[in-house]
Amino acid sequence: MRSHEVMLPPHFPLEDALQINEAGLHLDGIEKIGPDGTVYFAEKNMAIFKQVLGYECTSLQLSDVEDWARELQAKYEAFAKGVGKVS
């Protein structure tokens, strides 16, 4: 696993940056990100995806992103075709 250096403006505490980032995650429907990088989605947000698109993903590992993206794209395309947006 590679380590990365966090670059922040002078006198901007890392803890503040982490709090801002975590608040943004919740706005994006992400409940948390685990220590191994697994993304856990908020149940209420995922319920909308399940109801509208028939798509359900409660957690996502980075190694599975491409597969889930293809599945989500197919679900969206089927949905859009059903409402006359895609020919």
Q: Give the pLDDT mean for 3-26.
A: 89
Structure tokens at 27: 């706005």
Q: Give the pLDDT mean for 6-30.
A: 91
Dihedral sign computed on CA atoms, order 26, 18, 33, 5: positive
pLDDT band at 29 (very low <50, low <70, confident <90, very high): very high
For the chain, the structural domain boundaries read: 14-82
What type of residue sits at position 57?
A: C
8 Å CB contact between 49 and 42: no
Please check the confidence at residue 6 and state whether its pLDDT lies above 90: no
Please check the confidence at residue 86 and state whether its pLDDT lies above 90: no
Backbone dihedral angles phi then psi of residue 64, each to the nearest 5 degrees: -100, 5
